[in-house]
Every structure is written in structure tokens, then in C-alpha cells.
Amino acid sequence: MSKILMKGNEAIAEAAIRSGCRLYFAYPITPQSELIEYMAKMMPKVNGTFIQAESEVAAINMVYGAAGSGKRVMTSSSSPGISLKMEGISYIAGAELPCVIVNVQRGGPGLGDIQPAQGDYFQATKGGGHGDYRLIVLAPSSVQEFADMASEAFDLADKYRNPVMILADGMLGQMMEPVEFKPAKTDAELQELANQHLSWCICPNADGDKKHHHEINSLELDPQVLEKHVLDLYKKYAEIEKNEARYETYNVSDDNEVLCVAWGTASRVVKSAINEVMKEGKSVGLIRPIRVWPYPYDAIKQAIGKNVKKVYVFELNSGQMVEDVKIAVEGKVPVDFWGKLGGVVFTPAEIKEKLETCF
Amino acid sequence: MTTEMICAGFGGQGVLTIGKFIAQAAMQEGKNVSWLPSYGPEMRGGTANVSTVVSTEPIASPIVSFPDVLVALNQPSIDKFAHSIRPGGVLIYNTNMCPRGCQREDIIQIAVPMNEIASEIGSMIVLNMLATGIIIGKTNIIKYETLEGNLTSFLKEKNPDLLAKNLAAIQRGIEIGKQYA
Amino acid sequence: MEIIAKRPEALTKEPFHYCPGCMHGVAHRLIAEAIDENGLINEIAGVAPVGCGVFAYKYFNFDMAEAAHGRAPAVATGIKRARPDMHVFTYQGDGDLAAIGTAEIVHAANRGEKISVFFINNAIYGMTGGQMAPTTLPNMKTTTSPYGRNVEDIGYPIRVCELLSTLVAPYYIERVSLLTSADIIKAKKAVEKAIRYNKENRGFTFVEFISTCPTNWGYEPEKARQWAKENMLPFFKPGVFRDKGEGVE
Ligand SMILES: Cc1ncc(C[n+]2csc(CCOP(=O)(O)OP(=O)(O)O)c2C)c(N)n1
Ligand code: SF4
Ligand SMILES: [Mg+2]
């Protein structure tokens, strides 16, 4: 397959369809509207279902129903709409349903603006909805990766019966870059996907089978039983933490005097800045968490070689992931943070200036 | 080798398309590319701009702070971006819409009455393709043939007349650009 | 010289950001004039929506709150209950009021909140770039109904005045059009009545304006008005659905 120049919002939609997503429910919001518009156009062509819901609350509950029916289902929104989905996400996590949620983040809090931001890190990785639960959170930094994460997200969701969020931002949604798509799932593969959850999902009784009774539910009034349920969830989360952390290293070596940590869009700007300071003979490395939950604590710990004097975290928020970096660093070296807010994206020159103060 | 470019003008002048056609062709020629538009209500009647990066290396940041090439189709675009052009970089601008021009002497200025030339060719719609031609003539960032192929497959059936005008505008632009190459 | 188009005191000097031919500006002006005429400027507050009318909080020259998408009637309820001696209205588009905010509008109306609601029906999501609205007409193409609104799949447009008229509590419900100058004169009377009833704390008052969105419909303003006359008015018929002040139940 050759490369196609495409917006991130459209690429993730196309990739989701190729990954077997045939149900999509969402409500328009900038800067993710191209995603819903692409689904409106393409879902009918693959006999899929597209519904523009009356609200994000309705959309996520449509997802709850479809995921409870064992089908690959997705919704998408941007920050204010994701806040509305949080109730439903908590129910989905509690009922252990697989689904994919895309957040094309914009500046907040409140109505904020529509420019790229990373202010929803806490919401995505530390809760957002109520109760003890975890979302698997993938953080793309290019249009290609955004698209690739569609099938990854569905596979993870199915494997762990857990909601998976793709945490992008307005820049990744609006930007065009070349993408190469994986081949679309074949009919046989789609059939296999449709059957994988029959042991627990809402589905008709198969011919000759004993009548089944499946419950899609997060209610449990007996505290002992609920406690056990949550403990079981946390066993699952421990498994996910053990197996599923992913990160990229950029220029990481024993020579590094500064180690940067950045994710998503911010990491691209940091890479440009590192390229520049390297020309001045300064050694700076970057760890980019590709998934922000589970978080690659060990990778960061190991990357602090003998020479690292400082860990520098750059985010498009007021300092959220930096808290995880501090957990990883365990106080061994100072951790500094610099960010831009309100949808303002820092430039390579600004990051370079910050890095130069470290030498 | 990396070329960073900003194209800016009024919404509706087709600046986003300039970047898109160049990124598209460069991608087909095996380069890495990124195309990052301004977006939001400001585009309604307001100004629009797009950052396009073409490189033989993987592209780190798609955000262009110091363009090698600025294409400005109106004066506000010069006022906003011309100061950030890299010394020795190129400013291509439309004299019909930029009465004050640009005072910098450390850059190459290609001042072209684009409205006039576009209406000579027969339609204001081709103004952005004229600008694209100038970029190609000056920088060789993409091959004319790649762009011609793309436009042809896009427009040949739908609007052969517009195709001919667009190609004429690109060729005219290339001639102009070459004088500065 | 007679000054015909004096800017109402109830509007600030902030210039409107609306597209040419958009009717949000007309509706703002009608509301502002009615507030001036009723001498309410010192005791009125408004709630702006999320939609193209989002900056209404800058345009009205008295205290304004900006609500989350669809929640204006709940915010207005809070203000009115906290300050019963003030007069409160919301200003909302069709996506804001009849999609995400359906629960809030129905329940504010059902409680008979003593507020006014001004509802701009342009059959589309203007602000976000032309997606389908709950009021988008059958077969109408939008960016999220690219093959035309399929009523079998997504239902018919919602007639909000008719829907609210099934409730007992609302005091006044009228649908008007902003498509011609004669229509605007009628609309002005409706707005004036809603504000007057509001001033007298009579109950829940609601005015729907049939409008256009030239930008997202892809028509010149005149063509858009024509299209709306031919297509919107037959489906959304103007009229008084409830007026307890005049015995229309
Ligand atoms: C929770 C939430 N979801 C979605 C949006 C995006 N949004 C902004 S305005 C709007 C629709 C506006 O349409 P309408 O109410 O009809 O107003 P118009 O612009 O047509 O006047 C949407 C969906 C948002 N701001 N918040
Ligand atoms: S987009 Fe439509 S509703 Fe919004 S200001 Fe423009 S014409 Fe008015
Ligand atoms: Mg509307």
C-alpha cells in the first residue's frame, strides 16, 4: 500500500474501520469534527453504523450498549466532550467492556479554546470518572502513529476487556502527514472478532445451546463482593502494567547530561530542539512515553546514566506528567518542568533556550 | 536537507492548497512531509496560514518558527511572518495585495503582481497555483511533472478548462521563480 | 436628521462577529430593544450558549453568564432562584437547545421557570462548521449527513415549540421568522411580549426564530432566505402555541 497524505482525524477514522470497527457514536466538536465527518461518510459504505448522538453523554452510553454486545465500537471527542463521557467511561471500566475512545485535546479548563493542548493527562491517566479504575492510554505523536494506534487500541481493549483511550491533540488531528494503512480486516477476521466475546456479551442463544444469562453491569451492593471485584480489576491492571508499557528513546546515551521527557505533540518539538543543541556538542536525550498508562517508570529510571544532571519535562499543560516522572526519578536528580498553556504550542527555539540553561 | 515553508493569506485565497499540493508531490517523490494549518473560526473571512515542511530526514517538529520560504498573499501575512524568515531565506509576495511590502534586506524578495497575472491567465482561482509555480521555480522543492500529474488526475474529467489554466499559472510562476534561482 | 438605527442601550459597543447575512445579530438587536423598551437594563441578566451565539456575553450590555453547551436553562434557573428580583433569559441555538440540552430545556419549561428562552433555529450547527442539527430538514445535506438526512435512520427534525406545548406549565410559546422585514416586525412583537411577561414574572416564555446560516448552507444570504422560506417555514410553521396572557392554551 502506498502512502496517503491525510489529516490525523481522518487517518484514525479510516484505521478504525480497517481494524473492524463497525459502530461509531459521537457528537461534533472542534478540533475533532473531521473524524465524525469521515465516519458519517464512510460507515454507510462498509455497512457500519454511524450515529450523531444528541450529546457526548448519549454517545458514550451507546458505546456501553454496543461494547456490551461484544462488537468493536468507538467514540471520539475533544476535551469538554470527554469530560461529559467520564461518567460512562467509569461504568464501562466497572463492567469491563472493551471500547476505544479518542480525545483530540484542546485548551481548557471549561470551554477554553480549540488549539492543541495536553491538559487532559490527569483526567485520562488518573481517573476522570469516579471510582477505582484504569484506562489504557495511548499517546500518538504523528499521524502515522495515530492511525497505527487504532488497531493496537482495539486489540488491547479486547484482550483486557478494558476501555482504551487514544490521547491526541488538535495538532495531530488537524495536521496532514503521509500514512500507510494496514490492510483492512478480512471477512473471516471480522467473523472471528464478532465471536470472541460470546461467552459474556449480550447475544442471542446459539442453536441447541442452553439458554444463557449474561449481565452487563457495574452495580454490586454487597461491599465484600464489590471489593473483590475491584481487587480483580487491579490484578488485571497489574498485568497490564507488567506487559504493556511502551516508550521511545531518542538520542539516549551514557553521555547525556540532560534527559528530557515529553509525550505526544510536545515530544516532536523537543526532538527538534535536541537536534539543535546537539550541534553545539551538548548531549541531551529524550524519553517519549508512547503509552501514558501504563507508564514507563522503569525506562526513565534506567535512562538516568552517570552524567545526567537534570531531567527536564516539557508539556503543553501546567505540569501533569511531570508528577509521574518524579515518581520514576525517585529524587536522584532534580526534575525541572516547563510548559505552555491555553493552546499555545512551544517552539523548538524556546525549548532549545531552556535546554541551554542546563549547561 | 529540510525546507520549512509558511503560506499565508486571506481565507479563501487557497493558501492551504499551496501547502497541500507541495506536500503531496514531495511525498510522492520520496520525501518526508508535514502540513499543519491554522484552524478555527479565525479562518472565517479572516487570515489562514499553513506550515509545510519537506525533508530528506524524519520531521521532528511540524511547527515552523523560522521559515526558509514565506509566501504572503496579503499584507497582514507579511506583517505577521516576514520578520521570522531565516536570513538568506525567500519571501514571495503578491504586490497587488501588499502595498507596504517588506523592508528586510537580508532575504531574497520575489515581488509579483499575482492578481494581475492571474486575471491575465483568466481566473483569480489560479492565483495560488501561480504562487506554487514561483516556489518551484525558485527552490526546486518538487518536480513540475509530479504536480502536473496530480492536478491532471484531479481535474481532467471534472474541469479541463480549469486544469489548463492552473497548469499555465504554474508554468508562468516557474519562469518567474527561475529568474531568482 | 432622524436616527433610525440607534444602537440599543442594551447592546455594548463590541462589533458583532457574525457572517454576512447571519440572523444572530438581528435577534440580538430585537432582544436588546425589548429590554430597553421595558426599562429592564438594570435588573436583567442573560445566559449565552455554546454555538455561534457564544459571544453574546460580550454583546449584551448587562450581566451575562456563559454556560456549558446545552446547559443555559439550568444556569438561568440557578440565577433566577438566587436572585428572584432579577429577570433572566437564555439565548440558544438548535444544537445547544434541542440536542445536548434537551433535558435542561424540557425541565426548565416543565418547572415553569420564570425565565425567557430565545431559540435560534438555523437547522444546522453553525459554529462547528455545518454538522447536522436536530432541526436539520429531511434529506438536507450537512457534513454529518453527507447523503442527506435520512429520517428512517436518524428521525425527523424536532419541532421544539410543539414539543414544549405539550407541557402544562409554560406561559408563552411562539415561533416567528426572521426571513423578511415584515417577519422581523412580527418577531419584534413576540420578543417584546416575552420580555414583558418576564418583567411581570408571569412564567416560562419561549420564542423560536426561524433563521438562516448562509455560510454553512453554502448559499448567498438572499438565496438562503429564499431556501428557508420554501423549506423551513412549511415544516416549522410560525404561530402562537401558548399565550396564557391572552387565553391561548
Ligand atoms: C460538550 C461540548 N460538546 C460539543 C461542543 C462543540 N460545539 C460547539 S457549538 C456546537 C453546536 C452549535 O450549534 P447550534 O447550537 O445550532 O448553534 P449555531 O452555531 O448554529 O448558532 C457544538 C457541537 C462543545 N463546545 N461542548
Ligand atoms: S456560521 Fe452561520 S450561524 Fe454562525 S455566524 Fe456564520 S452564518 Fe451565522
Ligand atoms: Mg444552529
pLDDT digits (tens, 9 = 90+) for B101-125: 999 999 999 999 999 999 999 999 9
Task: Give nearest CA residue, ligand 2 atom 1.
Answer: C126
Extract the runs of DSSP E, i.e. beta strands, from chain B.
2-10, 32-37, 47-55, 69-72, 90-94, 108-112
Q: Which helix (H) or strand (E) holds A176?
A: strand A176-179
| Cα separation of the two ends of chain A | 46
Would you say the CB of residue C123 lies under 6 angstroms from ligand 1? Answer: no
**Residue A206: per-residue pLDDT:** 80
Task: Give nearest CA residue, ligand 1 atom 1.
Answer: A81
C-alpha grid cell, residue A167: 490521547
Record: contact A114-B39, CB cut-off 8 A: yes
pLDDT digits (tens, 9 = 90+) for C101-124: 999 999 999 999 999 999 999 999
Distance, CA of A304 to CA of A333 (rounded, Å): 8
User: Average pLDDT, stretch B32-41?
Assistant: 89
What is the SS3 assignment for A88? helix
Which of A169, A175, A270 to mutate: most B Cβ within 10 Å?
A: A175
What is the SS3 assignment for A298? helix
The average confidence (pLDDT) of chain A is 96
| Cα separation of the two ends of chain B | 17
**Nearest chain A residue to C68, by CA:** A111
Q: Which bound ligand lies closest to the C-alpha atom of C123? A: 3
**Residue labelled with grid coordinates 432582544:** C31
Is pLDDT above 70 for C27?
Answer: yes
Would you say the CB of residue C38 lies under 6 angstroms from ligand 2? Answer: no
What is the SS3 assignment for B109? strand
**Nearest chain B residue to C127, by CA:** B41
Backbone angles phi and psi of A137, in degrees to 5 = -125, 120
Q: How many CB atoms lie within 10 A of CB A11?
A: 32
The average confidence (pLDDT) of chain B is 94
CATH of domain A4-195: 3.40.50.970
Is pLDDT above 60 for C2?
Answer: no
The average confidence (pLDDT) of chain C is 96
Record: contact C131-A52, CB cut-off 8 A: yes
Task: Give nearest CA residue, ligand 2 atom 8.
Answer: C22
Is pLDDT above 80 for B44?
Answer: no
Is pLDDT above 90 for B30?
Answer: yes
pLDDT digits (tens, 9 = 90+) for A218-230: 999 999 999 999 9
User: Average pLDDT, stretch C59-76?
Assistant: 97
**Residue A1: per-residue pLDDT:** 58
**Residue C6: per-residue pLDDT:** 82
Q: Distance, CA C19 to ligand 2 centroid (Å)?
A: 5
Record: contact B36-A3, CB cut-off 8 A: no
**Residue B40: per-residue pLDDT:** 73
Instruction: For residue C58, give the amino acid letter.
Output: K
Task: Give nearest CA residue, ligand 1 atom 26.
Answer: C69
Residues of chain C in contact with residue B41, where contact means CB-CB under 8 angstroms, are 17, 127
Question: Lowest-confidence range among A117-126, A187-196, A218-227, A327-336?
Answer: A187-196
CB nearest to C143's CB, from A27, A30, A37: A37
**Residue B39: per-residue pLDDT:** 85
**Nearest chain C residue to B42, by CA:** C17
Is pLDDT above 60 for A164?
Answer: yes
CB nearest to C128's CB, from A28, A41, A54: A28
Nearest to C48, CA basis, from C7, C14, C20: C14
User: Average pLDDT, stretch B44-51?
Assistant: 79
Q: Which helix (H) or strand (E) holds A354?
A: helix A348-356
Q: Using an 8 Å Cβ cutoff, are C246 and C160 in contact?
A: no
Is pLDDT above 60 for B45?
Answer: no
Extract the runs of DSSP E, i.e. beta strands, from A33-98.
49-52, 73-77
Between B and C, how many CB-CB pairs are < 8 A? 5
- For this complex, say whether ipTM is above 0.95: no
Is pLDDT above 60 for C1?
Answer: no
Q: By the CB < 8 Å criterion, does A30 face chain B?
A: yes
Record: contact A80-C144, CB cut-off 8 A: no
Q: By the CB < 8 Å criterion, does C37 face chain A?
A: no
Preceding peptide of A31 cis, ω within 30° = yes
Instruction: For residue A109, give the amino acid letter.
Output: P
Degrees to nearest 5, angle at CA C16 with C12 and C17: 145
CB nearest to A28's CB, from C102, C134, C144: C144
What are the boundaries of each domain within chain B?
2-178
CB nearest to B23's CB, from A5, A114, A271: A5
Q: By the CB < 8 Å criterion, does B81 face chain A?
A: no
Is pLDDT above 50 for A16?
Answer: yes
Q: What is the dihedral of CA A232, A237, A238, A243, to 10 degrees?
A: 140
Q: By the CB < 8 Å criterion, does B63 face chain A?
A: yes
Nearest to A8, CA basis, from A145, A117, A132, A200: A145
Would you say the CB of residue C24 lies under 6 angstroms from ligand 2? Answer: yes
What are the boundaries of each domain within chain A?
4-195, 247-356
Task: Give nearest CA residue, ligand 2 atom 2.
Answer: C213
Is pLDDT above 70 for B81?
Answer: yes
CATH of domain A247-356: 3.40.50.920
**Residue B43: per-residue pLDDT:** 46
User: Average pLDDT, stretch C27-46?
Assistant: 97
DSSP-derived pairing of the beta strands C131-132 and C124-125: antiparallel
Question: Lowest-confidence range among A192-206, C62-76, C122-136, C169-183?
Answer: A192-206
Is pLDDT above 90 for A199?
Answer: yes
The answer for B88, left when phi > 0, alpha when psi is -120 to 50, beta otherwise, is left
Residue B146: pLDDT band with limits 50, 70, 90 = very high
Residue C177: pLDDT band with limits 50, 70, 90 = very high
Nearest to A299, CA basis, from A331, A261, A339: A261
Record: contact B41-C215, CB cut-off 8 A: no
Atom of ligand 1 nearest to the CA of C93: 15
User: Average pLDDT, stretch B40-49?
Assistant: 67
CATH superfamily of the B2-178 domain: Pyruvate-ferredoxin oxidoreductase, PFOR, domain III (3.40.920.10)
CB nearest to B63's CB, from A113, A177, A269: A269
Is pLDDT above 80 for B46?
Answer: no
Bigger pLDDT: B47 or A255? Answer: A255
Q: By the CB < 8 Å criterion, does A41 face chain C?
A: yes
Q: Which helix (H) or strand (E) holds A261?
A: strand A258-261
Residues of chain A in contact with residue B34, where contact means CB-CB under 8 angstroms, are 175-177
Would you say the CB of residue C101 lies under 6 angstroms from ligand 1? Answer: no
**Nearest chain B residue to A106, by CA:** B40
Is pLDDT above 60 for C66?
Answer: yes
What is the SS3 assignment for A32? coil
Chains linked to C by 3 or more Cβ pairs within 8 Å? A, B
Instruction: For residue A13, give the amino acid letter.
Output: A
**Domains of chain C with bracketed CATH:** 24-246 (3.40.50.970)
Residue B78: pLDDT band with limits 50, 70, 90 = very high
- Percent share of chain A, pLDDT over 70: 100
Distance, CA of A202 to CA of A198 (rounded, Å): 8
Record: contact A272-B60, CB cut-off 8 A: yes
Q: How many CB atoms lie within 10 A of CB A84?
A: 21
**Residue C148: per-residue pLDDT:** 98
Residue C4: pLDDT band with limits 50, 70, 90 = low
Q: By the CB < 8 Å criterion, does A48 face chain C?
A: no
